[in-house]
Structures are given as structure tokens and as C-alpha cells.
Structure 1
Amino acid sequence: MGNNVPRMMLAAANSGAGKTTVTCAVLQAFVNRGLKLASFKCGPDYIDPMFHSEVIGAKSRNLDLFFYNEDTTNYLLAKNAADCDLSVLEGVMGFYDGVGGFTTQASSYHLAKATATPVVLVLNVHGMSLSAAAQVKGFVALREDSNIKAVLLNRCNPMTYPTLKQAIEAETGIPVAGFLPKLDDCSLESRHLGLVTVAEAQNLKQKLQLLAEQAEQTIDLAFLWELAQSAPKPAFTPPALPKPLQNAPLRIAIPRDNAFCFCYEDSLTLLCELGAELVEFSPIADSALPADIDGLFLVGGYPEVYAQQLSQNKTMLQSVYTALQKGLPCIAECGGFMYLHKTIEGVDGGSYPMVGVIDATSFNTHKLCRFGYTTLTAQCDSMLFRAGETTPAHEFHYWDSTDNGNCEHAKKPTGNRNWQCVHANENLYAGYPHLHFYSDPMLAYRFLQQCANHRKKRDHE
């Protein structure tokens, strides 16, 4: 972790401004120039990092100041960018939009400030002229330490770009580093949780190359490169991590297919560093869980979209049910939690049998429910938690459950909204809240400890 981590953040005035499109264009253009890149997403989003990963050929990571502190954030930034030529951070929502909507906590601004990363503000200027300068001026002026160093214009008319660039720079003193025109052929498809996953995106490789070709023509990549070099070396105290388990490696099954693909890569890496070996499988295509596994981590995803295929794979459903009945330690978050239900309502409205460990139905609410950050307080001792312990979490789902559990008490960080959730015991964590192991590395350690206990019991039997 000794390098300076050349880096920049692509942030935006608002959601829908085209951050991910611009980020992918810039990433692909630099990859085409032969550079090795790292990429990061501000906040809890799972899908945008998948697109980054498709471009750079390595796993993109999340940086989230609600889940962990500034030291850990800078540690993960430096750790994951250590051998890369350039790191690109993609912002979340509007630049200053943080926890609760009216704070800057965990916002793109907060991350840029905490990591001393220069910011390039992406503006969707479709239908705008001089008002674009007013937006830039306002964003720069709201906080003296905004670190906004440049602007990129998205959906910009090539004919008006020179005049618009001149006006913005004259009015604000902030350089304009180029633009992307409206590119209908390069749009990224969406669904109820945001963009579709990489595996489902149509003609993605072709779209990425078209974006990169456009970036080469109309974005000042040399300027962005120099801007990234100005970022100082990250400063941090590394987090205290538990020692790896001695009886490793512990085989942890993790689903990887179109139905299950939402997970924090740093959480998985931490599991491996503490003694896990991840064994991938497909609940859609495989007939059973992998052999000789010591634990199961059912990550989130879109089981409601693939409910019919999941339900038809009866041997896999039986394999999971039997394993959990025998005490296989299991973490099941959001989509993984839904998979453990007795039935899921599919996107087509049909009812589809699932594993059945949770005697409940997961159903479509047709709206986001309990969306956003929350803090969990354990109501009892369980595999991951001791009674009274708290941990940050995140929920993002349209489907709900007829039985969310009552082993955790969840409370929003602002306001008074709170609720009971999570099914938990000595072998199980199952609920809608997503966890990040770097918020408390002991969560990962306790999970692996229980996996080790299960292995001993299995080997003895």
C-alpha cells in the first residue's frame, strides 16, 4: 500500500445525470490505453460496480462511510488500488445527498473529503445553457472544501459545447474537461432496483467500446489523468482484524448466477483472509449444493425475476433445505432470505415454492419498502451477534415478507421509523438487511467459527 493512489471521483448534481455511463466511458477509454484500473462506488449500490468490473476486468469495490469510518475507508481504497495506475470513484445520488436526505454523511462529498479525492462534476445539460454555470457555481460554493476541480457535460449538443464550455469556465473558474453527447445506442437498461445486471445487459461490450471511442474524441483524458495524479497518498490507521482461523480453509458456498449476484466484494475478501475458501454454485442450474461445504452465504439478487427457474430446480431446493435442517451455518441477505421462504411471488404475479426454511411468503409491494440505511440492535444471542450489539445495515427491496423475524430491532438513522426483523439462531442469519463485514470484522469471524464447529460435528459423525 505504498503508492500514492492516483484517483478522481465522477460525481453528479443528481441521480439520473449519467454517472455510470460517463464512468464506464472513462474507464474503458483508459483501459484501451493499456492502463490497469481500480474502480469504486460510493455507497451501498451493488449493480454499478458490476459494470465497472466488466470494464476493468477486476472486481470493483464499494466505499461506504455509513458502514465504516474514514480510516477503514482509506485503508480499503489503498488496499484495492495498490497495484493500479489509476482509480476512479463513482459518486452516489446528488453530490451532497447523504443519510436522511438532508445531511452530507456518507454522501459523495463526504467520501471525496475523507479520501482527499479530486472531484469531476458530471452535469446532464440536456435542455440547459447558462443555467449549467449556475449549477456548477452553486455546487462549488455550498462547501468551501467541495474539492470540485472540473466538470464533464453529459447529453451535450456538440454544436453548443464550445460556447457552453466557455460560459461555465468564465462564470465559475472551473475547467470543463469535455462532454458526451446523447448516445441512444449506449443506454443501459433498468428495472425496479436500478440497472439490469451485467449478465443481462444487451450488447454490453459493444456499448462500452462505443462509449470509449466517444470519450477519446470529446473528453480531455490527459487532463483527467493529470488531475488524478494530484491526489495525495491516502492516510489511515488499518482496522484491527481477527487472526485467521487455524483449521482453514473452510469451504463456504456462495451463489453466482443471474438470480444471486449482490454482495460486497470486500466482505468476501475478508472471509477469505480469515480462512474461507469460496465455492461458487448456481441455484438455477446446479442440482445440489457443492460437496463438503462448511457454510452457506446466500447473497442478494433478483430471485423474484427468476422465481420459476429457481422453483423448478427441486433437487437444489431440497439440498439447501436438508443442509440447513442439519445445522449448516447460513447467512441469507435480502434475495437470499427470500429464497429460503416457503413461496415467492414472481414478477409475473405467480406463486412459486422455494426452500421452505422460513415458513412465510415473499410478496411484491410494488414500491420500495424500508429503503436505505438502518442500524440493527440484536435482541438475542445468535451466530453473528450478541444481545444488545449494534451494527449498520442497508435495505433496498420492493418485495416484503409475511414474517420478517424479530431477532433484530432496526431503526432509521434519522426520524423515528423502526421495526423488527431478521430470523437468527446459532446457525442462521436471514433477513432483508444487508451487512458489511468491515463494519465489524467479528461478524465474519463468528460466522467462520460456527462453520468450523459444523465441520467438526460433521467429521465426527
Structure 2
Amino acid sequence: METLTTPRVMLSGIREGAGKKLLATGLIHELRRRGISISCVVRDSCLLQTAVFRRLAGRYCICLDSHLLDDSQMLYQSYMAGVGADLILVTGKGGLYDGNSPGDLKGSDAELAELTLTPIILLVDGQGWGNSLVALIKGYFDYGEGLKFIGACLNKLKRDNQGCPTPSIDFFNRCLKEASLGELIGAVPAVSLEADLPPADVCQSKVFTSLPRSFFVELGNLVNKFIDIDLLIERAETASSLRLENLTYSPLPRRTRIAVSDDSCFNICFQDNLVLLKYFGAEIVPFSPLADQKIPAGSAGVYLTGGALGEYATAISNNDLMLKAIREFANSGGVIFSEGAASALLCDKYIINGDQYPGVGVIPAAATLKQPKQSYFESITMEDSILGPPGLVLRGIDTREFSLSGPDRAVMVLQMKYPDGEKHFGGFSPGAQIVSSFGFCHMGSNPVVARHLVDACEVNSKLG
């Protein structure tokens, strides 16, 4: 049995578009500037957003998506998020009570907050409101039976001549005090920024995760000025301890090294996977397929993440030494797991907007980039592979951005099933030590897969 005691808070909104991700980004920047180890959790599979959060926080970002994980798995990942952290910040999606179907809280922020005993800050688009805002906030607080609210935060307020929100936070606090609702965590004016955060769905045709430093500094300054961060931390510390009866946290000692692609192009994956690989004994070593010329020394395995191949095709195809290094690593029996656009890179060639580019040549096929159509999938392993024996179930998301001609000599190891009932082989093995998929698997949906992958790398490191 383990107990989650890490202070935590969920930033949830009254609706989609309330500004949760922007304020969360500013909070992460400011909290880390203050020396606080902040662990980020997002409620959904926003892989582009998690790439941004991870760089800001300096820690892997966890995705809790009820389409992919059951309650016990979400609790397990929540505990992992809290290990070594001073505070867990959960960023919600949509409105607080927006579930998967009408009248159902399944899949909502509210359901996750109740499951993990996470206190909630309600984010409200405050523009145009006066005293009537009290009724709105009170309605949200009263509707959430079993939830713990630690305050509200107003966003997108009008600015006065000095750039401060109007009406003022003092005005709203007086209104809330009359209704015994406590004071606001903050009141943030509307702001015009030089960049935008990434979209919710994954797209690998262009870069969405490389944002200017000034963007984060501006958001951090905004949060520092208009949100009471000390009060937020104080109230996050009131989170109840969460007893996890069936969880034993026993990370394995380091036993192998896995190189993971991580640069301005290749950075898209469920970072939960990396947390699990480390838990099962892997040392994670980042490298850049764009800038580096070889795979990190001593690596027994390579995890090639998805990325913006549509924008970096020329640059990566010109890095002959890296393409050669990956090919030689594969030919020498190195373990390779690839996802998304990285699987296209492993092909003989890939085609983007009609232009052909040379790939690594590990997969005897050609991949063509097309318009994305993101959906969930459930897959089952059909053959023995580095992911484990047949019959293992994995869930994840697939952007369906690539079509494949071939491969003629690859074993199909993952059969994917989509919500519309469509089935096809979406994972293949061009070699005994390689598994490639154009989808993104959440290993939290079956952690034993992460252990099998580390096991395969350990065997390879001993043979090497």
C-alpha cells in the first residue's frame, strides 16, 4: 500500500476556452522560477501540450485519459506524478462537469478530481460580469457534491488605463464574501500574446511546440502579478492523503540504457511511457536526430518519438550520419521502438507534399504524410516482440497521418481497433528487435509492456 501525500490542485474551467492551459503555462513557469518542483498532469491525451509543459517544468508530464486508463491505472499514474514533486498541477479539459455523454460525469474533470482527491480552482471567464458572477460560482460549487473547491480565479477581464483588471479583485472579493464563498485566487486581465499554445490534437506536419522564451516570461509575469501563488500553494497543501491499497512502489535499479529522441522536431509521445521505463530500470538518455551524428554511447535501445517531420524533412534527411547510425544500430541487433512520424523516418523513403525524402531504410516501405484524423484505439499484440508475448492489450491515440505502401517483409505485431469498429494492423516488426507504429501507445494502459521493453534492452546490453 502507498499513500499520495503530495500537495496538488486542479485548474478546471466553467467551459472550454476559459484559458486553463495558458494560465497553467504561466503557473508552471513561475513556480519553477521560485524553485518549486512542479509535476504536471493533463486530463486528456494532449501530447503537444505535454511537450511544452515538460520543458517548462523539467519533469515528465502525465496524461490521465479515461478513454485509455481505468481508475486504478489513473491512480497509479497520479502517484507516479507525485514522486519527488513539491506540487502536482492538474490541467483540466473542457468544463468541469463536461463528461463523455449528456448527464454523465464519466471522463470529466470532476470525476478525476473526486477519484484523486484533488482540490479544484474554478477558472471563470469574468469579462462582462458583476455581482451576478457570485451566482455562477456558487452554482458550480454547490453542484459538485463530493468535490473540494479551494477557490475561483477570474480570467480575461477588461483592463483599466493602468492595465489592471476591471472590475477589481477587491470588488469581486466583497461580492463573494457576502455569499461566504471565500476570496479569489486571482483575477487576470485579458492579454494579447505573440504566440499560441499547441492545439489539443496531435499534428506532425509542422512544429507547434517550439515557442519563444519571451512568451513564457510574459505569461509568468502575468501570473505573478495577478494570481496569489502563495495562497494557491497554501490551499494545495490541504489536499487529503490518498491511500492506494493495491499499489506498491518498488522501482528497479538501473539495468540498461535507452536513448530517446528529444529535440525541436522529435518530442511527441506519452511521457508516462518514459516514467515507466525508468521505473523498470532504464536510464533515459535524450538525443537529437536533427543535430547529433550518432546514438548515445552505451545505448541498448532507442525510442524514436513522433515529431514534426513535415517541417523538418529536409533537415533530417541531410543528417546522413544520424540516418546511418540508426541503420547500423538496427542492423547490429539494437532494440528500436518507434511511434508516429519516427516510423515514417525508418522507412526506405517518406513522401511529404509530393516530395520524396530518403529514410533510414529499416522498414522496406514508403510512408506518405496526409491530413490527420485523430482517434483512440485499442490494440492487441499478435506476435512475440520486444513489447512482450501475444495477447497484450494496449490503448492509445492514432493521428492516421501516414499511409504506408508495404512493408512486404515486416511481421505485423499490433492489431488496432478504432471506436468506429475499423480494424487494421498498425504495428509492425521489420526485425526481431524492432517494433514500429504510426500510433502512440499509452503504456500506462498496460505497464507490463514497458517492463518487457526494458527487459529486451537489458538482454541486448548484456549481449553487446
Q: Calculate the TM-score normalised by the size of structure 2.
A: 0.82
Structure 1 position 88, deviation (Å)? 1.5
SS at match of 2:453: helix
1:439 counterpart residue number: 445
Q: Please say if 1:355 is aligned against 2:363.
A: no
Please point out which of 324, 334, 343 is paired with 2:340.
Answer: 334
Trace 1:365-376 onto structure 2 (pairs within 5 A): 365-366=370-371, 368-369=372-373, 371-376=374-379
Alpha-carbon distance in 1 for matches of 2:365, 2:188: 48
Find the counterpart in structure 1 of residue 234 from structure 2.
226
2:202 to 187, 193, 198: 193
Instruction: Count matched residues.
Output: 449
- 1:22 Cα deviation (Å)? 0.6
Partner of 1:209: 217
Contact 1:74 1:234 in 2 (8 A): no
Letter in structure 2 aligned against 1:363: T
Matched letter for residue 381 of structure 1: D
SS at match of 1:277: strand
1:310 equivalent in structure 2: 316
1:236 counterpart = 2:241: no
- Separation in structure 1 between the aligned mates of residue 324 and residue 132 of structure 2, nearest angstrom: 60
> Match of 1:283?
289
1:305 and 1:165 map into 2 onto residues whose CA distance is 48
Deviation at 1:311, TM superposition (A): 0.9
1:388 corresponds to 2:391: yes
Aligned: 1:272 with 2:273: no
Determine if contact 1:109/1:146 at 8 Å carries over to the other structure. yes
CA distance in 1, matches of 2:462, 2:27: 50
CA distance in 2, matches of 1:57, 1:390: 31
In structure 2, relative to structure 1, the CA distance for the partners of 1:269 and 1:171 (3 Å cut) is same
Aligned to 2:161: none
Q: Percent identity?
A: 22
**Displacement, 1:320?**
1.8
1:46-89 Cα deviation digits (max 9, x unpaired) = 33334334444444333444444444434443444344443211
Q: Pairwise mapping of residues 41-440 of structure 1 onto structure 2 (< 5 A)?
A: 41-97=42-98, 104-126=105-127, 136=137, 139-140=140-141, 143-157=144-158, 158-161=165-168, 173=181, 176-185=184-193, 187-190=195-198, 193=202, 198=209, 200-202=210-212, 204=213, 206-237=214-245, 239=247, 244=252, 249-346=255-352, 350-366=355-371, 368-369=372-373, 371-396=374-399, 398-402=401-405, 406-412=412-418, 414-424=419-429, 426-440=432-446
- Of the structure 1 ranges 131-140 and 437-446, higher mean CA displacement relative to structure 2 is found in 131-140
Residue 149 of structure 1 contacts residue 175 of structure 1 at CA under 8 Å; is this kept in 2? no
Check the 8 A contact 1:43/1:107 in 2, yes or no. no
Q: Distance in 1 between matches of 2:129 and 2:446?
A: 46
8 Å CA contact 1:38–1:80 kept in 2: the answer is yes
Provide Cα deviations, 1:81-138, integer angstroms capped at 9, x if missing partner.
3444432111134434455898644432222111111111223345667886676566
Rounded Cα–Cα distance in structure 2 between residues aligned with 1:139 and 1:417: 39
TM-fit CA distance, 1:306: 0.8
Unaligned runs of 5+ in 2: 159-164
Deviates more, 1:219-228 or 1:331-340: 219-228
> How many angstroms does 1:2 deviate by?
6.5
What's the offset of the Cα at 1:160? 3.3
Contact 1:241–1:441 (CA under 8 A) maintained in structure 2 = no
SS at match of 1:278: strand
SS in 1 for 2:157: coil
SS of the equivalent of 1:305 reads helix
Per-residue Cα deviation, 1:372-418 (whole angstroms, up to 9, x for no partner): 33211223333314333322222246444445985323224x55344
Code of the residue aligned with 1:221 in structure 2: it is: I
Give the Å deviation of 1:146: 4.6
More displaced stretch, 185-194 vs 112-121: 185-194
Q: Secondary structure at the match of 1:212?
A: helix
Greater mean alpha carbon deviation, residues 384-393 or residues 67-76: 67-76
- Check whether the contact 1:304–1:345 (CA below 8 A) recurs between aligned residues: no
- Taking a change above 3 Å as real, the CA distance of residues 315 and 238 of structure 1, as seen in their structure-2 partners, is farther
What is the alpha-carbon root mean square deviation over aligned residues? 3.6
Give the conservation status (yes or no) of the 8 Å contact 2:49–2:198.
no
Q: Is the 8 A contact 1:2 1:82 kept in 2?
A: no
Letter in 1 for 2:273: S
| Distance across 2 between alignment mates of 1:178 and 1:407 | 51
On the 8 A contact 2:173/2:182 being kept in 1, the answer is no
Call closer, same or farther: CA 1:68–1:239 in 2, change over 3 Å.
Answer: farther
Checking the alignment, whether the CA contact within 8 Å between 1:78 and 1:234 is kept in structure 2 is no
Give 1:302 deviation, angstroms. Answer: 1.6
Structure 1 unpaired stretches of 5+: none
The match for 1:22 is 23
Task: Kindly provide the CA deviation profile for residues 148-178 of structure 1, in whole angstroms up to 9, marking residues without a partner as x.
Answer: 4432222111223556676778789585432
Deviation of 1:434 (Å)? 1.7
Q: Distance in 2 between matches of 1:101 and 1:337?
A: 38
Q: Note the C-alpha offset of 1:430.
A: 0.8
Alignment partners' CA distance in 1, 2:18 and 2:250: 41
The structure-2 alpha-carbon separation of the partners of 1:174 and 1:363, relative to structure 1 and needing over 3 Å to count, comes to farther
In structure 1, C-alpha distance between the alignment counterparts of 2:101 and 2:325, rounded to whole Å: 41
Displacement after TM superposition at 1:234 (Å): 2.0
- Specify whether residues 253 and 214 from structure 1 end up closer, same or farther in structure 2 by C-alpha distance, changes over 3 A only: closer
